[in-house]
Amino acid sequence: MQEATKTLEILVYSHDSAFRRDISAALGKRPAADLDEVSIQDVATAPMFWQRLEKQKYDLVIVDADANPAGGLGLARQAKDEIFNCPPFLAVIARAQDAWLATWSKAEAVVPKPLDPFVLAETAATLLRHRTSISQ
């Protein structure tokens, strides 16, 4: 009998629709061969971000540090402080000097802009593997 696969849920936050499309394209249906398929939902506003986080369980959240008017790093920090069993966060930063802000935000991983699809997929896969190993 074949084991049922679980879809891994990913939330992407940015005001920039091109950024959200680039993230989805880089991750594809499966960011790594050893992982289940992913379902990617994206949001453009902080209110929608909070609404989705409150209503659904995510395996990974990817945020744009440069999102406007609410930055992704601030949302990550607030989520980490307020949500029990908060999903891992991957922050995408434009400037290397923002890495300390990503640490402040409690994001588990950081990738730089411009996006390298391979680096993004591998970083996301690492976080998803860790998340799925602790939830089993």
Domains of the chain (ranges; CATH) run 8-135 (3.40.50.2300)
Closest CA relative to residue 25, chosen from 90, 118, 125, 130: 118
Cβ-contact 111, 123 below 8 angstroms: yes
Q: Per residue in 99-134, pLDDT tens?
A: 888 889 999 999 999 999 999 999 999 999 987 776
Bridge partners of 43?
13
Q: How confident is the model at residue 50 (pLDDT cuts 50, 70, 90)?
A: very high
Q: Per residue in 16-45, pLDDT tens?
A: 999 999 999 999 999 999 999 999 999 999
